[in-house]
Amino acid sequence: MEISLNNAIESITHQLQLWRRDFHQYAESGWFEFRTATRVADELARLGYQLQLGKDVIKAEDRMGLPTPEQFAEQEKRAIEQGALTEWLPHFSGGFTGIVATLDTGKPGPTLAFRVDMDALDLNEDLTAQHRPHAEGFASCNSHMMHACGHDGHTAIGLGLAHILKQFQSQLTGRIKLIFQPAEEGTRGAKSMATAGVVDDVDFFVAIHIGTGVPKGELVCGSKSFLATTKFDVTFHGKAAHSGARPEEGKNALVAAAQATLGLYAIPRHSEGSSRINVGVLNAGIGRNVIADHALMKVETRGETNEINEFMYQKALNVIEGAAKMQDVDFKINLMGAAQSSHPSPEWVDFIMGLAQNKIPELASVIKDKPQAAGSEDATYFMERTKAQGGQATYMIFGTELSAGHHNERFDFDEDVMPVAVKTLATIALSLPEFGGKTHE
């Protein structure tokens, strides 16, 4: 007797919770997802997926915001102590923590890809009785690492979808790719996977998120409010001197950074759309009687379009260079993260909306887009790459109740959203022949 999709989803609902809570307890920040990646790879291999791992799906030179070799070594050791599967670890060593799992049905049809992310934030989790993960024993055991954005749920959804697709493989056509991405926080990881070509054969692409202020039971299936962004560190190098006896011998990196900061906030905003700039960190100097010989700034620009963001970034570079020249100091810029703006493909969005409205009664409402907080998302690299190859792409947000906002130490979500997301994504895969559209030759 054939099992129904509803029964199949019900059969994995508890496992979704177990996966999510395991990933939450052993939260791992971007490029450090060693335990998570080994366990995801092992589960996918057990299911029979074709796996591409590590350097096969990540272009090394396009990674951004990398930790030091010493930090990588320390975190690999930590992951092994916490149950990373050592037979898989060599694939991910050095922070190449990406996974692409492919299900080839052996039947003609397009290639469909789903992307989920795996990384936690650099945040200490609340450890009081009012916070459910702590009260129920699955709060993060890792200092300064917490799943405060729902990526633990995303990873669990990806594994749940993998199970359902295998169970219904005989009803599927074409090829389905599951992309497990590292380092989404700080928009650091997607570009290196996109430039590695993981979506170059993809006809239809979907990225997902839970929460983001969308109410429980609501689905946003064409979100287009993400801003393009460039995130970078600036280091100024001057010359130390005694501030009382020989101030003229110094070259003041602190003053250069301060002047740059004021200049950055004076950049004119763009008339054709939203623009942002922020200096989030400024550290400089070593003592009150020493001309500061070094300074560090952590900066980001954002724009409603890629062009507006590039305008802000180029203006920022001019300001920084000018401030450095004024104080006769050297400077260096390190790119730490980036994302693009991207509009979903209208026909693909309409098709998914129709499916969700007609086949997912758990969803009370389905909408194309709604104003969101002006954040950024590096899945836009996958979306734009897919569209550039002639495919179609969208971004979906599954609403859920939150205990606190994203990136908050008390963040938690209603786990009922996970089976709804799995069912919706599985329905897209099972219904894709109804849509048709261009496929790659």
Contacts 24+ apart (CB under 8 A), 163-166: 163/12, 163/15, 163/47, 164/5, 164/8, 164/9, 164/12, 164/422, 164/426, 165/103, 165/426, 165/429, 166/47, 166/48, 166/49, 166/103
Indicate if the alpha-carbon torsion angle 356, 362, 364, 368 is positive or negative: negative
Q: Cα separations (Å) of 213 from 13, 222, 327, 373, 379? A: 23, 15, 45, 9, 19
Report how far residue 30's alpha carbon sits from residue 181's, in angstroms, rounded to the nearest whole number: 10
Determine phi and psi for 181, rounding to 5 degrees: -100, 135
Report how far residue 267's alpha carbon sits from residue 277's, in angstroms, rounded to the nearest whole number: 9
Q: Which two tokens stand for residue 151?
A: 């990526």
Indicate if the alpha-carbon torsion angle 20, 25, 30, 31 is positive or negative: negative
Closest by CA to 199, choosing from 60, 392, 48, is 392
DSSP single-letter state for residue 196: T
Binding residues: 149, 151, 185, 209, 407
Q: Cα separations (Å) of 53 from 64, 82, 316? A: 18, 21, 37
DSSP single-letter state for residue 290: B
Report how far residue 86's alpha carbon sits from residue 387's, in angstroms, rounded to the nearest whole number: 37
Q: Order of strands, edge to edge, in the sheet holding 294-303?
A: 275-284, 294-303, 228-237, 330-339
The one-letter amino acid code at 23 reads F
DSSP output for 292-314: --EEEEEEEEEESSHHHHHHHHH
Alpha-carbon Rg for the chain in angstroms: 23
SS3 state of residue 436: coil
Helices (H) and strands (E) in the chain, counts: 12, 12
Binding residues for Mn(2+): 149, 151, 185, 209, 407
